Amino acid sequence: MIKRRLGNNLEVSAIGLGCMGMSFGYGPAHDKNEMISLLRAAVDKGVTFFDTAEVYGPFANEELVGEALAPMRDKVVIATKFGFKLDPNGGPQWVGLDSRPEHIREVAEASLKRLKTDVIDLLYQHRVDPNVPIEDVAGTVKDLIKEGKVKHFGMSEAGAESIRRAHAVQPVTALQSEYSMWWREPEKEIFPVLEELGIGFVPFSPLGRGFLTGKITEDTTFDKTDFRNTVPRFNAENRKANLALVEQIKQIAEKKNALPGQIALAWILKQKPWIVPIPGTTKLHRLEENIAAAEVELSAEDMKLIEGALQKIKILGDRYGASTAKLVNR
């Protein structure tokens, strides 16, 4: 697969793999051995960039990624995250934010063990903590980099001011935030800052949490543990209205002899050369489809047609429920 560069010197495959859904978020955890096989298949097919976090499970996803990638550790870049306060009773949900320096260190040490590695390639602050100065967060990661435990510093769903303040203390290699054909907010204020500062961008949910693949309809039901049940954008009424976007993508895909999801990913790749999406999947054929999106060529005319289609469609529903929405863009 072709490579892209995040920040000054982190080279990764043009399309990475978001691993969360293997263990958490979209229903019950999948079979461990099957997911290990999938992760190793991804490496064989050219994927070098893998995304996880302590909160996915919690802990289970880091353990899965660590075990699967240990035999080919020198071939891959592993990104993980800190910043949530987990349920002290061992529940599956976070109970708040915590980016205190001592907590960052605790999480980093624990993640190193779960990932079966001696260094974390890219360590993100999962969400900006309003109770901890971002300079203290960046300074702590800077110290971890000096100690050889971390290679690169990242942020997730951070606002422009937080990014600038953090970057002044420790250069930010990548920002990870949601971005896709149906959530384009980062284009307004975030992209210009990233371009100015030389920071890479890693879109999560580049396929709209599966919606842009065309496989989800107004009649689709989700497992009771699937967090999309709590997302306003996925309620029955909004989902029905939002299918207009999928129909437009399908028409474009047919002309390009591609799949809707591949068009959605190719569109992201075309935006900027420093963008690396991380679609998630638990199926080998979906992995292969996503990887093949890197070979889909969209011309300037294609992009103009897509833009015209997107401008005509209003996406209904918030992307998060109220409790989660307040944690982003600080």
Residues labelled catalytic: 56
Query: How far is 321 from 159, CA to CA, in rounded Å?
Result: 19
| Torsion sign (Cα): 114, 120, 122, 127 | positive
Query: How far is 78 from 311, CA to CA, in rounded Å?
Result: 36
Pull the structure tokens for residue 88.
């002290």
Who contacts 172 (Cβ-Cβ below 8 Å, separation ≥6)? 7, 138, 153, 154, 155, 163, 166, 197, 199
**Element at 4 (helix H, strand E):** strand 3-6
Query: How far is 13 from 50, CA to CA, in rounded Å?
Result: 10
Does a cis peptide bond (omega within 30 degrees of 0) precede residue 88? no
Q: Are 30 and 37 in contact (CB under 8 A)?
A: no
Q: Are 126 and 154 in contact (CB under 8 A)?
A: no
DSSP secondary structure code for residue 143 in this structure = H
